[in-house]
Chain A
Amino acid sequence: MQDTMINSLTFSHYFFTGAVLFVLGMIGFITRRNMIVMFLCTEMMFQGVVVTLAAAAALHGNITGQTFIIFVLTIAAAEAALALGLVILLFRRRQTLDAGAWSELSG
């Protein structure tokens, strides 16, 4: 029975890993106050999506899921460039990476 259980690896396992990575990234984005780490957490949400896309591609035997990963990587690269530029700009104004220093933006 134990053998069968170990061998019964399903695609649901991969979806589970993707969901956990996405949720951990989301929790990190909410709880961390360092702006750089917040954007690192969004990249971790992308990782969860990438694992899910690859698992769905393998499950359905459809390569388009893997093709979409390329576009996820494109958006991630564009986001990293812009977000890090903005973080540096904000750091130059207040000399801190604390997201709470800009809380007046929330109105």
Chain B
Amino acid sequence: MPEVSIYEDLSLVRRRANTVFWVISALIFLALSFYWKVQIVDHKKFSGLAEANRIRQRALAAPRGLIFDRTGKILADNGASFKVSFIRENVEDMEGSLVKVGRLLEIDVETLRSRIEQYKDLQPFEPIVVEDGLSSRDVAPIESRLLEFRELVVDVEPRRLYPNGTLAAHVLGYLQERTPDELRAEPDRAARVGEMVGKTGVERQYDDILTGEDGKIIEVVDSLGRVVREENARQNPVQGGSVVLTLDHRLQARAEKALEGREGVIIALDPRSGEILALASFPTFDPNRFITRFTPTEWRDLMSDPLSPLENRAIRGLYAPGSIFKLVMSLGGLEFGFVTPDTSVFCSGSTQIYGAIRHCWYEPGHGSMNLADAIKNSCNIYFYTLGRRMGIDMIDKAAGLLGLGEITGVDLAGEKEGLVPSSEWKTRTLKTPWYPGETISVAIGQGQLQVTPLQIAALTAIIAKRGQRKPPHLFLSAPAGGKGGVSADEDGKPPFKLSAFESVIAGMWRSVNDGGTGKGAFVEGLDVCGKTGSTQVVSRESAERLSRAGREIKTHSWFSGFAPRDNPRIVVTVLVEYGGGGGATAAPVAGRIFELFKDIQEK
């Protein structure tokens, strides 16, 4: 059976088909070699990519270190903060669930719905926080019924808690969430979203010690980010180290109580070491509010409050020192030989200096007085005379030796340095020469002089220790390690001779114990020494005009003193804004602090 006769000649198309098959075979071989490259040659790279795809790290927040006062009382603690989240995926009947959940959490259904709808772009398995910042007591009834509510999960995170509310708020400071800018600034740091960081006070100063080490969980996730399972590799968070402060909560509480309702500052410190025992600034705030988040109105009110409660007046409030400055004048006058303890000046109630009539605060006049009398009575005429003799630059020198015009170096951020004017300063900044008449205002602590209450407390401590300088500080110890406090230029040469200190202290003792302006601070058996001050807030001319009009002139009220006279153990500085005369307002407040200190010491 000859094939040709039956079958047509198909050799041409068959050849073509064959060629096409060879082309296809070549392509298959090409594909295969590419698979070999991806699967064998580049296997490691793609393996790593596949791992990275499915592994996710989640940070576990570390609790911050505790802050104690010197007696061991906790000033800053960690509470557990519970949050309740809603998982849409686990809901069958949305409406019914919203009603039930709303009843359980005591949230209005519409609020709940809008909160959930805010996050409707999230994957349905992702929890949406519907209630935040709950205490363990709030969450107990919710947790007990969690089995009925598959759509709810309760998470717990450590959260800063200030158990005493506003107590020592300005010392402790507050926390805020690390901002995106701060996160960018430290790219190496493993930061966690929502991490709180110290913004002011001790929380900021010792943030490095207080911040713990976050832990982490490694989770296997699917392409939508849903957690499939948790790996065993769990690294637990490490709590931050605690910090013990020099504060004594009893003195601190007393100081805050004494200030309540008035703007002002009370500082108590130990002159032997510079340890600050109490530092109160009023008005104050509750640092807990920074943790639980403000409502917008609360925040606006706080920021626009004319009394600026967030400001720590002890280190950032600038005031004229008033008659407190007479201590500086006295020490300078004695040291530089412008007066001796026995130099006497006659006060007739007023005097004429550089062609202007100047008044003493005591109109009848104090009569003839030596230096100690002048300090006791806070006589203006005496110090006008001394000021004229010294001149502004010697005054500036004396103030500088006592630490005015520069920061004390306390371990709190944002301290201000104040201002001590000098002829050089005036020509430099105001481009006009110094007029001798201006010296007279400075001599009684007015004029351009500006000090912080902490500078006055530090100055008083130098006097109390007869020239020994112990910079004020808040850091006592960090049990788990970590450095703090201030570096003291210890046992430097006393800036003034001992006799000068003794003369000034004699005046300060008489001010309190011998019927002087500071008698309000008298405490039986404690030998308090101190000096009052009343600072004119308005200019001299308008003050006189107001007094003629029969208006009450409000002045800032100062007292700064120490006790006991020999081997002093405490310095107390009080400033009450618009408090009136220093003797009438500040001295009695200081007396209450001295009293409590005495009680504590005797116990």
Question: Do A and B bind?
Answer: no
